Amino acid sequence: MIPLLLIIVGGLCAVAYGIVTILDVMRRDAGTQRMQEIAAAIAEGAQAYLRRQYTTIGLVGVVLFVLLAVFLGIKVAVGFLIGAVLSGAAGFIGMNVSVRANVRTAQAASTSLGGGLDVAFKSGAVTGMLVAGLALLGVALYYLFLTRGAHLDPSSREVIDALVALGFGASLISIFARLGGGIFTKGADVGGDLVGKVEAGIPEDDPRNPATIADNVGDNVGDCAGMAADLFETYAVTVVATMVLAAIFFSGPTGSGRDVLEPMMLYPLAIGSACILTSIAGTYAVRLGANQSIMGALYKGLIAAGVLSIGAIAAVNMTLLGGFSTTFTTSTGVTFTSGGLFGCAVIGLAITALIVVITEYYTGTNFRPVKSIADASVTGHGTNVIQGLAISLESTALPAIVIVAGIISTYALAGLFGIAIAVTAMLALAGFIVALDAFGPVTDNAGGIAEMAGLPAEVRKSTDALDAVGNTTKAVTKGYAIGSAGLGALVLFAAYTSDLNYFIANASPTQYRFFQGVSVDFSLSNPYVVVGLLLGGLIPFLFAGIAMTAVGRAAGAVVEEVRRQFREKPGIMQGTDRPDYGRAVDMLTRAAIKEMIVPSLLPVLSPVVLFFVIQLIAGKSQAFATVGASLLGVILTGLYVAISMTSGGGAWDNAKKYIEDGHHGGKGSEAHKAAVTGDTVGDPYKDTAGPAVNPAIKITNIIALLLLAVLAHS
């Protein structure tokens, strides 16, 4: 009981940090009246977006809640509700803080660069800590209720199903935030540019453009709410899947058995709790040094959080697992030590560090990849895009090798459970990582506000410097998000196979009847496994393709709305009439939600449809094999598609920045025009299709787990 309470205290610390920091940020000076007006418009737009988005989520959520309650019982449905509400809350609060911190960042930057960094980073940290804290609290408190309040056995199916449903609740928010949000943000960006820059000939961030506010809202939608929901989901599903594996490995008659069941189930939660404290400590290490390097200040914080986490996890080992030399044996006969698990956690932290470094290499302006795209821009639009695509494809290699090395080494240390613990440790830093990402839109907005409010040039210089770093952190954290999503999904896949084996082994005429006589051949020489891999592998390609098209259509909707406003209110262009920002936001939100229906159904329905179609053709056993293989197929191609899109997009973005910094002729040159084309292509790559693949990967896996639960109930 005491470890569980300590875990909960960790989660509460995150929430407390959030509240204190919100109050701190809100106390800052909000600048001139003009700045406040603009910020109010953005905040109003964010409200319009959130209202429309959450209303839709609410409707879908109610339907899913009822379905879960009917098929799997009320505890499962409540688990779903908890996951959805907490993830929604983290995104909602985060967005609202972001759209208030932006103007305060602009104002603080007018005094000092350090001041601007402080406000922007702190507001990002609010979102980050809420993500980690609420995800941890949700799982821990519901587990506390189920095992202590409802007196269920920790390894019982009811507990497992309820926790999996909590992850599914997070998935609901995640797919809306990533896919719907991604279509929204790039629809606003591309559409606004088309009708503003190209048609009307007014600059970016011009307040006369009715889509300008939507564009600023979109930044927060993507990199604050979107990233928050994505990592909340990965956090929740990874912790839950690790707990499920613990329940399966340590509840059987063989192995170390039930004595270690609860410590093992709590171990991932404890790592999460400990790393919340180190992440909070890390935020205090973010300070501008004498060299005025913003990126350096942020990395100082990340390194501090990472190094402290090693100590904190060691402390968890001492408290929960009796140090480092205790030996455990799973019910499947794998033996490892608590020291081995600690090693896995450290490897998880190392993977985080390596992925950050690799992604910065591929998207930073100081290195070969971005420079090569900038060089290729000199010879035109086509060569810019060719080189960008080449880099995007190439950028998959090193992260893949890091992930593979992580799998091999942690499996050697502690088997499947070791892999799960590594991913848990990787995600334990999610609080700090989201802080880095949510920092981006705040500085981006701050720059926009400084522009629109006509602040002096040196303020613009500070906000530009912050914005440039924001571009890098956004790219870097996207690499982390997809890497962790892929690994988290692998843990989910392990949970699927373990769950399936459990149901088959325990099937009888009285329980798990559906699984009687089922014998699944997961071997690669079973053609249905090949079929599953192929069909699963197709999903990220098709999903990403539809998402890219959706951005185009949403942008088209923006163009029409802006044209309509210009037509009906000629005063807008003369500056005598105010555009209806809210209407543009609301219209775009509706368009984005409409556009996300088809692609979001793809990962949701495919495991279910695949199961029943193959069951019809070849029977239950092959259906389970096909669905299982399809999960791995989604992970496999999803990882590569998402990494290539997010890194490639980031590289294009910074190649443009690199030219704007005065290389190859600078702004306005032919090379710059080519680089703008690359950046436009990279936008939906890195902000819509790529990131949206993350929830797609996780959702197929979660749905498959729920499908098993439903079949077990039937």
Tokens found for residue 377: 């821009």
Q: Tell whether residue 504 is a contact of a copy of itself (CB under 8 A).
A: no
Considering only residues 568 through 597, tell me which ones interact with a copy of itself, judged by CB under 8 A.
none
Name the β-bridge partners of 693.
none
Report, in Å, the least distance between residue 480 CB and a copy of itself. Answer: 18
3-state secondary structure of 328: strand
Tokens found for residue 490: 């692998």
Q: Can you tell me which of 228, 551, 572, 671 binds a copy of itself, judged by CB under 8 A?
A: 551
Q: Tell whether residue 188 is a contact of a copy of itself (CB under 8 A).
A: no
Backbone angles phi, psi at 401, to 5 degrees: -70, -40
Give yes or no for a contact between 700 and 539, defined as CB atoms under 8 angstroms apart: yes
Q: Can you tell me which of 311, 333, 545, 619 binds a copy of itself, judged by CB under 8 A?
A: 545
Contact stretch for a copy of itself (CB under 8 A) within 69-77, 83-91, 125-133, 386-394: 386-394
Q: Tell whether residue 485 is a contact of a copy of itself (CB under 8 A).
A: no
Q: Tell whether residue 497 is a contact of a copy of itself (CB under 8 A).
A: yes
* Residue nearer to a copy of itself on the CB measure, 307 or 393: 393
Tokens 């199903």 correspond to 161
Report, in Å, the least distance between residue 504 CB and a copy of itself. Answer: 13
* Residue nearer to a copy of itself on the CB measure, 228 or 548: 548
Q: Can you tell me which of 139, 494, 703, 706 binds a copy of itself, judged by CB under 8 A?
A: 494
In whole angstroms, give the CA distance from residue 711 to residue 714: 5
Q: Tell whether residue 207 is a contact of a copy of itself (CB under 8 A).
A: no
Q: Can you tell me which of 36, 337, 383, 669 binds a copy of itself, judged by CB under 8 A?
A: 383
Q: How would DSSP label each residue in 567-597?
A: HH-THHHHTSS---HHHHHHHHHHHHHHHHH
Considering only residues 407 through 466, tell me which ones interact with a copy of itself, judged by CB under 8 A.
407-408, 411-412, 416, 419
Backbone angles phi, psi at 113, to 5 degrees: -60, -45
Name the β-bridge partners of 328.
336
Q: Tell whether residue 331 is a contact of a copy of itself (CB under 8 A).
A: no
Q: Which of 311, 326, 348, 160 is nearest to 240 (CA)?
A: 160
Q: Which of 628, 606, 592 is nearest to 540 (CA)?
A: 606
* Residue nearer to a copy of itself on the CB measure, 404 or 505: 404
Q: Tell whether residue 681 is a contact of a copy of itself (CB under 8 A).
A: yes
Q: Can you tell me which of 16, 285, 534, 598 binds a copy of itself, judged by CB under 8 A?
A: 534
Query: Distances in Å between the alpha carbon of 334 and those of 413, 415, 541, 695?
Result: 10, 7, 37, 31
* Residue nearer to a copy of itself on the CB measure, 11 or 690: 690
Q: Tell whether residue 334 is a contact of a copy of itself (CB under 8 A).
A: no
Judged by CB under 8 A, how many residues of this single chain contact a copy of itself? 78
Contact stretch for a copy of itself (CB under 8 A) within 152-160, 388-396, 442-450, 462-470: 388-396
Helices (H), 145-207: 157-175, 181-193
* Residue nearer to a copy of itself on the CB measure, 38 or 623: 623
Report, in Å, the least distance between residue 530 CB and a copy of itself. Answer: 7
Q: What is the largest CA-CA distance in the chain?
A: 79
* Residue nearer to a copy of itself on the CB measure, 326 or 372: 372
Contact stretch for a copy of itself (CB under 8 A) within 53-61, 309-317, 446-454, 517-525: 517-525
Report, in Å, the least distance between residue 614 CB and a copy of itself. Answer: 8
In whole angstroms, give the CA distance from residue 207 to residue 377: 31
Contact stretch for a copy of itself (CB under 8 A) within 106-114, 115-123, 397-405, 705-713: 397-405
Q: Tell whether residue 523 is a contact of a copy of itself (CB under 8 A).
A: yes
In whole angstroms, give the CA distance from residue 641 to residue 197: 31
Report, in Å, the least distance between residue 337 CB and a copy of itself. Answer: 19
3-state secondary structure of 518: coil
Contact stretch for a copy of itself (CB under 8 A) within 146-154, 398-406, 425-433, 467-475: 398-406
In whole angstroms, give the CA distance from residue 641 to residue 663: 30
Query: Distances in Å between the alpha carbon of 631 and those of 247, 370, 515, 604, 625?
Result: 22, 34, 20, 12, 10
Considering only residues 216 through 275, tell me which ones interact with a copy of itself, judged by CB under 8 A.
none
Name the β-bridge partners of 329.
335
Q: Which of 82, 174, 59, 207 is nearest to 134 (CA)?
A: 82
Q: Which of 159, 158, 218, 162 is nearest to 186 (CA)?
A: 218
* Residue nearer to a copy of itself on the CB measure, 195 or 229: 195
Q: Can you tell me which of 380, 514, 564, 582 binds a copy of itself, judged by CB under 8 A?
A: 380
Tokens 């939608």 correspond to 221
Q: Can you tell me which of 31, 684, 690, 695 binds a copy of itself, judged by CB under 8 A?
A: 684
Report, in Å, the least distance between residue 505 CB and a copy of itself. Answer: 14
Query: Distances in Å between the alpha carbon of 132 and those of 139, 160, 234, 271?
Result: 11, 21, 10, 12
The residue type at 84: A
Query: Distances in Å between the alpha carbon of 383 and those of 378, 395, 661, 669, 678?
Result: 8, 18, 20, 16, 10
Q: Tell whether residue 544 is a contact of a copy of itself (CB under 8 A).
A: yes
In whole angstroms, give the CA distance from residue 549 to residue 558: 15
DSSP-derived pairing of the beta strands 327-329 and 335-337: antiparallel
Q: Can you tell me which of 19, 62, 63, 404 binds a copy of itself, judged by CB under 8 A?
A: 404
Q: Can you tell me which of 175, 225, 385, 436 binds a copy of itself, judged by CB under 8 A?
A: 385
Q: Tell whether residue 376 is a contact of a copy of itself (CB under 8 A).
A: yes
Tokens 């992850």 correspond to 167
Q: How large is the C-alpha radius of gyration of the chain?
A: 25
The pattern of x and - marking residues 603 through 622 that bind a copy of itself according to CB under 8 A reads --------------xx----
* Residue nearer to a copy of itself on the CB measure, 131 or 629: 629
Q: Which string of b and e fits 223-233 if b means at least 16 CB within 10 Å?
A: bbbbbbbbbbb
Q: Tell whether residue 389 is a contact of a copy of itself (CB under 8 A).
A: yes
Q: Can you tell me which of 171, 234, 330, 637 binds a copy of itself, judged by CB under 8 A?
A: 637
3-state secondary structure of 509: coil
Considering only residues 341 through 370, tell me which ones interact with a copy of itself, judged by CB under 8 A.
none
Report, in Å, the least distance between residue 88 CB and a copy of itself. Answer: 30
Tokens found for residue 114: 């350090």
Q: Tell whether residue 515 is a contact of a copy of itself (CB under 8 A).
A: no
Considering only residues 96 through 125, tell me which ones interact with a copy of itself, judged by CB under 8 A.
none
Report, in Å, the least distance between residue 579 CB and a copy of itself. Answer: 21
Q: Which of 651, 647, 664, 680 is nearest to 379 (CA)?
A: 664
Helix axes 157-175, 581-618, angle to 10 degrees: 140
Q: Tell whether residue 680 is a contact of a copy of itself (CB under 8 A).
A: yes
* Residue nearer to a copy of itself on the CB measure, 73 or 552: 552
**Residue 526 DSSP class:** S
In whole angstroms, give the CA distance from residue 273 to residue 430: 12
Tokens found for residue 217: 């809202």
Q: Tell whether residue 190 is a contact of a copy of itself (CB under 8 A).
A: yes
Q: Can you tell me which of 188, 264, 403, 705 binds a copy of itself, judged by CB under 8 A?
A: 403
